Amino acid sequence: MVLPQSRNEAAASEKFDVPGVVLLALGLLAVVFGVVKGETWGWTSAGTLGAIVGGVVVLALFAWYETRVAHPLLPMRLFRNPALTIGTLVTALNFFVLLGVIFFVMLYLQNVRGFSPDESGVRTLPLSLASMVASPLGAKLTEKFGARLTMPLGMVLQAGAAFTMLTWSDDSSYATLWPPFVALGLGVGMVMSASSDAIVGNAPVEDGGIAGGL
């Protein structure tokens, strides 16, 4: 209702990259399967290493194939831009930290401290509230100082939060729990604003949709 319609008319006649979709899906599936099974099978077991290595090989094949197809699912030429490449890597690391920390925090609050799921959720509200504040703040800082300031600053906040959580014990007071939540929320929100700008802002206009998906 608000945004004007935007279409890439030049792409209307392009064929959909089905082999690229299949290779990407298989590669990611194998890597994730290996990581998930690592705890059960053992991290050095043949099954775990085989799945992860096999997935990486398939992903490498995907990248090679994408450089040789006429209409690739993910144009590898985008990664010739260093800022876009760094933004992509930082985004991946950002979600790795966020989801890993949330997984750990919920296990800690429920299994170690004995809180119910609802009580645990309420105690992590500072994280959500801080990320809501950080997104527009990060956008303003990125607009004024660029992603070179906001991305490292956000990652430092996340690192500080993660290392602080290592000091928690089974009787830590809530006064020691909520500051890392705030730092993590601020860091995640700032990184997402800066990295999104680095990815989409450095992609050609005609590849804006692909950059957004990336």
Query: Mean pLDDT, 10 residues at a time, over the chain (214 residues)?
Result: 75 85 97 94 96 97 94 91 92 91 94 94 93 87 85 93 94 93 93 88 84 86
Assess whether 107 and 160 both reside in one domain.
yes
94 shares a domain with 163: yes
How far apart are the C-alpha atoms of 119 and 123, rounded to whole Å?
Answer: 6
Is residue 184 one of the residues assigned to a domain? yes
Residue pair 55/72 in contact (Cβ under 8 Å)? The answer is no
User: What's the pLDDT at 161?
Assistant: 95
**Same domain for 213 and 109?**
yes
pLDDT of residue 3: 76
Q: To which residue do tokens 């950002």 refer?
A: 94
10 part of a folded domain: no
Please check whether residues 52 and 119 belong to one and the same domain.
no
Residue 4 lies in a domain: no
Task: State the residue range of the domain holding 47.
Answer: 15-74
Same domain, 129 and 214: yes
Q: Are 67 and 94 in the same domain?
A: no
CB < 8 Å & 24+ apart, contacts of 99-108: 101/161, 101/162, 101/165, 101/184, 102/127, 104/165, 105/165, 105/181, 108/168
In a domain, residue 2? The reply is no
Q: Please, what is the Cα angle at 113 between 111 and 119, to 5 degrees?
A: 95
The answer to whether position 208 is within a domain reads yes
In a domain, 185, yes or no: yes
What is residue 114's predicted lDDT score, i.e. its pLDDT? Answer: 94
d(C-alpha 28, C-alpha 117), whole Å: 30
Instruction: Specify if 5 maps to a domain.
Output: no
So what's the pLDDT on residue 201? 87
Q: Are residues 150 and 60 in the same domain?
A: no
Residue type, 59: L
Give dist(CA 67, CA 70) in Å, integer: 8
Q: Are residues 52 and 82 in the same domain?
A: no
Looking at residue 119, its pLDDT comes to: 95
Q: Which residue, of 46, 74, 102, is where some domain finishes? A: 74
